[in-house]
Chains A and B, each alone.
Chain A
Amino acid sequence: MHQRQVIRTNDFALKLANVNGTGSASANGLLMQAIFRMGIPVSGKNLFPSNIQGLPTWYEVRVSKSGHTARALDYDLCIAMNAETYARDVKEVRSGGALLYDSSWPLDAALSRPDVTFLGVPLARMCNAIFTDSRERILMKNIAYLGTLVALLDIDMGVIDELLEEKFSKKKALRDSNHKALRAGYDFAIENFECPLPIRLEKMHATDDRILIDGNTATALGCLYAGATVAAWYPITPATSVMDSFKELCAEYRKDPETGKNNYCIVQAEDELAAIGMVIGASWNGARAFTSTAGPGISLMGELIGLAYYAEIPAVIVDVQRTGPSTGMPTRTQQGDILACAYASHGDTKHILLFPANPGECFTLAVAAFDLAERFQTPVFVLSDLDIGMNDWVCPRLKWDDGYRPNRGRVLGAAELEKMTKFFRYSPENEDHVAARTLPGVHSKGAFFTRGSGHNKLGGYTEVPDEYQEVMDRLAKKHKAAAAAVPAPILHKQVDAAFGIISLGGCDPAVREAVAALAERGIIADYLRVLGFPFGAEVEAFLAAHERVFVVEQNRDAQLRTLLTMETSAPKEKLRSVLVYGGFPLSSRHVIDGITAQLAQLEHR
């Protein structure tokens, strides 16, 4: 610490190693929020176990004045609060970095590193001296290390005070305890260390018009604003908080002011088979309805997704992807459901997929999902993931256009039906290859029999090959037509690019950072991020314009690449994969290393 070091302001990464169930989440959240309020771009990744108490959990905070929010793999400072993971936490500190530990107990000399500064703070001893309650002694250790970090990183104490004031405005005793612990940690650091460290914070104004929000809350907000009234679900990590948020939002915004009754109905189903059934039943009956789930739920929903596809019933399915297959790692992230969703269910089925890359897009694409589902009378999947869904992201403030009106698609009303001689469910079709539907309870002329069994273009039961094929062919055309309706991909074009990169969803921050870093090395790439499936003309054009395209995604089997090879005219050989699928969010280093290694390989051929 006494050697001269380069001062790095607003550009570093922290790793906090904790034991889950000990109250660290609250302190770590405060840390991230304080940095955000200081106007500095920051991201927090919660790497947690599938467990309630006692297992290792980490929280990573990356501070980046240039706004890079992908996961960092080098840590300048580690707060090592878990003896069980101490050995591996020490290893992950960057050479020249520092490690904060609880010096209430002696440090195992074998775990020491000469190139890392060890900062011992007697957190347990301090808290035992201040507090008498055993639970409080454990909880407040977290706030005490936060106090130490305030001094070490030069966090604005005024901001911390403000946050504690807001958080505990109605719990005075708790606020006082927090203040005492915070002060103890802070004072110890000032007295014993050279504060601040070379890594430090300085106020900026880069987050003034931004918010801190997780993707699941944003998705729930999108469903609320889209006018969803029926939601059915089965609890599953990492999708549960979508419905928790939706429920909270509905309680706040959907109570009828006159009657006090609910303008919504949320059903916790017995399983995902029932959850999707309820969504289909509600959509069939004219409500905007959705479910939120994760991979295992998608597997269970398979059969009824096919029913909705074939009978042409809208359904919005939010899939917050986690690590598969099977139970996999429920609290770890992945993009492993792309193919399962694209072709969900038996027989020939193809679905519309949307790929949000951040909470802001969770909000807008949730709304888009309902419009697409009703316009095309078909299931639409919003493919989020655990990293987007459960971590807090710094996002531009969400905006809402009060002129928005839901696109309910082709639905015939009583007056239109009254004028008709005879209504046929699947004829005539419009330019999207969609026929008008009718809702129960409107007019008996609109009555028809919805079925998942073979039907002809008039809606009648059939086992006649030509009649069956005619409907199936129209469904294929309808899916194709949706290519022009899903949100267009986002293109980052550079001059004289040597190759292209295609990616999706939560890979975006890492890929953008990698593209910038590669450009600094003279490796120029165009980057296209797809927002939806079926792929439109822009994707075809990008593939055609580049001789080599790297497809970056978070799954083992290159599912996006597979989808591109099946659903575009690009030759398979043109597409090369960069795959990271261990369950932690993607880092730019993964992308840079993956691409440069393959480029080197290609040169040596």
Chain B
Amino acid sequence: MPSPKPAVVHPHLRPNTLGLTVRDYEGAPSTLCAGCGHDSVTAAIVRAFYELERPPHMIAKLSGIGCSSKTPTYFVGGAHGFNSAHGRMPSIATGANAANRSLTYLGISGDGDSLSIGVGQLVHAIRRNLDMLYVIENNGVYGLTKGQFSASADIGTKSKRGEANQYSPIDPVSLALELGASFVARAFSGDKGQLVPILKAGLSHKGFALIDVISPCVTFNDHEGSTKSYLNTRKRMLPVISTDFVAADFVPHAAEITTEYAPGSAVSVKLHDGSTVRLRKLAEDYDTGSRQSAADEVERHRSKGEVPTGLFFVDTNSRDMHDISGTTEVPLSQVPYQKLCPGSAALDELQKSFR
């Protein structure tokens, strides 16, 4: 058992308007390997929720099976969590969302969980434009079973035992763009400055937001010859779109966020909840509102061996599963029974047609 965290409160910890400090968005201590990329993602998620000032009990965190799927235990202890079955988190999230549309849904998955056993459920959650943020902590390897290649492993990448992968990889970003996801991004666990605003934008987006986070496995995929090692990711990573995020109802001065990346042309995109995400592009002719443009840009860099990152595509006017189904605004789990049962008189009337 890991030892509990010290109960010391840092004097600089400032409460947000809910009166919660960043510590209130933490969870149990991580049991992952020291240096695991996933722990950085966890820290970014804690920061994102804290800054977005979401009440913990209004967050539902769901996962499948794998190292990444363990991480919901490590953030927002005050939120309900559901560690489901391998590759099945999207369906659990779909049902949960169907029952209560008022919560924020965050799904944490990995490349094995999402791109192999669970690819069927992932693609259909995207098709339904389920209102959730879906994070793939992508390390190209099965960690819990000790180092097999996953479906996101690049051709030629070497396993710890020296074996080279021969199969073409599934790129979750291209997949999501193709299937109609309304928010598609990629980030690197080692770049918190980029990851936190993208997470916040994804959490504020209405519809299916997919963030592919390259999150190296220090134990099984951080060696020479691996394309998803820390070193190689840093080398190949290219932020083609940098992201600033301004939350809804945020104090005005915060809007003056500057980016550390070289400025291209900037666009501001207003998200469903009133938040604004400001995107700065490296390529002048790139249209972040165009799926085609995003797909081209991603492919252009990928073919050069680069790992493009950023918020590639966002559609702020998409209809989510509930819009499409015409579901009532009141969470279905809270509709009173009296409104659901037609009663005996209606049954008697209906049965006149059963004669």
Contacts and interface: CB of A to CB of B under 8 A. Distances in A.
Interface of A: 36-37, 211-213, 221, 224-225, 227, 229-230, 232, 253-254, 256, 259, 261-267, 269-271, 273-287, 289, 303-304, 307, 397-402, 404-406, 438-444, 446-453, 461
Given A269-B91, A400-B344, A277 B99 contact: no
B16 interface: no
B92 A440 contact: no
A11 to B, nearest CB: 23
Q: Interface SS of chain B: helix, strand, loop or mixed?
A: helix
Q: Which of A256, A283, A444 has the largest count of B CB atoms less than 10 A from its CB?
A: A444
B330 to A, nearest CB: 8
Contact of B80 (A262, A267, A279, A447): A447
A448 B85 CA distance: 17
Contact of B57 (A263, A285, A440): A440
A450 B80 contact: yes
B58 interface: yes
Contact of A287 (B60, B100, B120): B100
B328 A452 contact: no
Contacts of A397: 348, 351
A263 to B, nearest CB: 5
B79 to A, nearest CB: 6
B56 to A, nearest CB: 5
Interface in B75-104: 77-85, 88, 90-100, 102-103
Given A277-B94, A441-B100, A441-B331, 6 more contacts: A230-B99, A261-B329, A273-B121, A278-B98, A287-B100, A307-B84
Contacts of B55: 444
A274 B99 contact: no
A399 B96 contact: no
B333 A453 contact: no
Given A287-B100, A452-B85, A261 B58 contact: no
- How many chain B residues sit at the interface, stated as a range, is 35 or more
Given A227-B340, A447-B80, A212 B95 contact: no
B326 A277 contact: no
Q: Which of A221, A442, A452, A453 has the largest count of B CB atoms less than 10 A from its CB?
A: A452
Contacts of B347: 221, 225, 398-400
A474 to B, nearest CB: 21
Contact of A442 (B57, B73, B335): B57
Given A227-B337, A266-B325, A441 B102 contact: yes
Give 10 closest A-B pairs by Cβ, nearest first. Answer: A277-B91, A281-B95, A278-B95, A444-B78, A287-B99, A286-B333, A440-B80, A282-B95, A285-B99, A211-B354
A211 B355 contact: yes
A36 B340 CA distance: 32
B282 interface: no
A2 B253 CA distance: 104
Contact of A286 (B58, B99, B327, B329): B99
Given A281-B91, A441-B102, A265 B327 contact: yes
Contacts of A304: 84-85, 88
27 contacts: A227-B341, A261-B329, A262-B325, A263-B340, A264-B332, A267-B98, A267-B325, A274-B90, A274-B124, A275-B91, A277-B90, A277-B94, A280-B84, A281-B99, A284-B95, A286-B99, A399-B347, A404-B341, A440-B79, A440-B96, A441-B60, A444-B55, A444-B56, A446-B57, A447-B81, A448-B80, A452-B85
A444 to B, nearest CB: 3
B5 interface: no
B342 interface: yes
B337 A212 contact: no
A110 B182 CA distance: 70
Contacts of B326: 261-262
Given A281-B94, A285-B333, A287-B333, A253 B355 contact: no
B81 A277 contact: no
B4 interface: no
Nearest to A213: B354
B322 interface: yes
Interface in B82-138: 82-85, 88, 90-100, 102-103, 120-121, 123-124, 128
Nearest to B72: A449
Contact of A271 (B62, B79, B120, B342): B120
Contacts of B91: 232, 269, 273-278, 281
Contact of B99 (A254, A261, A282, A402): A282
Nearest to B342: A253
Contacts of A401: 344
B11 interface: no
Contact of A441 (B58, B85, B98, B327): B58
Nearest to A163: B355
Q: Which of B82, B84, B95 has the largest count of A CB atoms less than 10 A from its CB?
A: B95
A358 B171 CA distance: 51
A278 B102 contact: no
A440 B342 contact: no
Contacts of B88: 273-274, 277, 303-304
B325 A265 contact: yes
Nearest to B120: A270
B161 interface: no
Nearest to B95: A281
Given A261-B328, A263-B332, A451-B83, A274 B94 contact: yes
B343 interface: yes
A261 B327 CA distance: 6
Contact of B82 (A263, A439, A450): A450
A39 to B, nearest CB: 11
Given A307-B84, A440-B96, A287 B355 contact: no
Given A259-B328, A267-B94, A400-B344, A277 B335 contact: no
Nearest to B326: A262
A456 to B, nearest CB: 13
B29 to A, nearest CB: 13
B346 interface: yes
B339 interface: yes
B325 A256 contact: no
Contacts of B98: 230, 232, 265, 267, 278, 281-282, 287, 289
A497 B127 CA distance: 62
A444 B99 CA distance: 19
A303 B328 contact: no
Nearest to A166: B353
Nearest to A276: B91
Contacts of B354: 211-213
Nearest to A461: B73
A253 B350 CA distance: 11
B96 A285 contact: yes
A279 B99 CA distance: 9
A402 B326 CA distance: 28
Interface in B298-341: 321-322, 325-329, 331-335, 337, 339-341
A275 B102 CA distance: 22
Nearest to A36: B355
Contact of A277 (B56, B92, B128, B355): B92
B100 A277 contact: no
Contacts of A36: 355
B21 to A, nearest CB: 14
Contacts of A303: 85, 88
Interface string B217-259: 0000000000000000000000000000000000000000000
Interface string B161-191: 0000000000000000000000000000000
A358 B332 CA distance: 31
B105 to A, nearest CB: 10
A429 to B, nearest CB: 21
A225 B342 contact: yes
A443 B57 contact: yes
A259 B95 contact: no
A397 B128 CA distance: 40
